[in-house]
Amino acid sequence: EVQLVESGGGSVQPGGSLRLSCAASGFTFSNYGMNWVRQAPGKGLEWVSYIDSSSSTLYYTDSVKGRFTISRDNAKNSLYLQMNSLRAEDTAVYYCARSPRAATGTSFDYWGQGALVTVSS
């Protein structure tokens, strides 16, 4: 069974940092691209970042470029999101999500349960 479990969420002051982790199991992690998607309270989905299976291709949404860094450790079956210079508007539930190999386009076939990040003074 595919499982994605996020951790590392919490409360932080504006300008602070947090590192989210996503532990993957039930599939060959090193074969899949992975993503972070967030959802602000009461709002819609917002894609944040993508990393391919070998960490050679990275994408970010404009609002986090230069502040967030996506990475992965295939030996540990783990995905990470280092978030620096956090702002109030980064407050959201952060989901890690897998990109399916069967798809030609970009989609997300498995999602974690989410980790809440709250940025407030």
Partner 1 sequence: QSVLTQPPSVSAAPGQKVTISCSGSSSNIGNNYVSWYRQLPGTAPKLLIYDNNKRPSGIPDRFSGSRSGTSATLGITGLQTGDEADYYCGAWDSSLSALGFGGGTKLTVL
Q: Mark 32-51 with x for binding to partner 1 (rule: CB under 8 A) and - for no binding.
A: ---x-x------xxxx--x-
By CB under 8 A, is residue 77 in contact with partner 1? no
Question: Is residue 108 within the footprint of partner 1 (CB under 8 A)?
Answer: yes
What is the Cα–Cα distance from 37 to 46, expressed in whole angstroms?
6
C-alpha 111, offset from chain centre: 10
Tell me how far apart the alpha carbons of residues 39 and 6 are, in angstroms, rounded to a whole number: 14
Opening angle at CA 25, ends 45 and 30, nearest 5: 85
Q: With respect to partner 1, which residue has the nearer C-beta, 16 or 100?
A: 100
In the bound state with partner 1, the residue whose beta carbon lies nearer, of 27 and 59, is 59
Asked if 69 interacts with partner 1 (CB under 8 A), we say no
Report, in Å, the least distance between residue 77 CB and partner 1.
19
Q: Which of 2, 7, 14, 109 binds partner 1 (CB under 8 A)?
A: 109
- Of 79-98, binders to partner 1 (CB under 8 A) are 95
Distance of CA 39 to the CA centre of its chain: 11
Q: How far, in Å, are 15, 92, 93, 112 from residue 42 at the CA level?
A: 23, 9, 10, 19
Residues binding partner 1 (CB under 8 A): 35, 37, 44-47, 50, 59-62, 95, 100, 102-109, 111-114
